[in-house]
Amino acid sequence: MRRPWLNWLLLPVGILVAYFVVPVNADNAPVGVLLGVVLAVAGLSAVAWVVADEVQRAEKRLRLVHLLLALELVVVIFSLAYYWIAVHQPGEFNGMVTRLDALYFALTTVATVGYGDINAAGQLARLLVSIQLVFNVVFIAALVGLLQGRMREGRPGSRDGDDARE
């Protein structure tokens, strides 16, 4: 039985719940350290369950939903790293105070917008942002490759199209 709503709803929500409640330190734990760890583990467990379900169904074809979930997961990981650095090494980022600031900064970096209201000032922050920029290039290349593959599959007379008609 297919449950596409799990991919489109449960995974993104689970990832965001884990991001917003995982404690970075005792002073900045939004729901407390123990409850934060429990909720983060629950969110990541939901993600792991859905991913395991996908693998078990043995769908080896990369779909758009997989790339979008990978993008969200990577953005959340970078956001958490940015926030951790901002909390534990003040001065590495200018303008980053909250988790939402870190998520916003990671999203503007992915979108290559860069408004300038938050910026990497220290060497560690600049290194991490540089790594995210390299990821962006690789991700965009993968997305373009996926779209090209889909376009080739749908084209009449293509090899994949001929196989589908047999």
Looking at residues 107-135, what average pLDDT do you find? 92
Verify that 137 and 99 share a domain, yes or no: yes
Same domain, 70 and 132: yes
51 and 70, same domain (yes or no): no
Shared-domain flag, residues 17 and 90: no
Distance separating alpha carbons of residues 39 and 18, to the nearest angstrom: 6
d(CA 59, CA 2): 12
**What is the per-residue pLDDT across 128-155, written as a single tens digit (0 to 9) for each?**
999 999 988 888 887 788 778 777 877 6
Both 75 and 152 in a single domain?
yes
- Mean pLDDT, the chain, rounded, equals 77
Distance between CA atoms of residues 28 and 84, nearest Å: 10
Residues 23-55 pLDDT 10s: 777 666 556 666 766 766 776 676 667 666 665
Q: Residue 52 burial (CB < 10 Å; 0-12/13-18/19+)? A: exposed
Count of residues in the chain? 166
Count structural domains, the chain.
Answer: 2
Prediction pTM value: 0.71
The domain boundary, picked from 25, 59, 93, lies at 59
For residue 65, give both structure tokens: 């939903």
- What is the average per-residue pLDDT within 94-117? 92
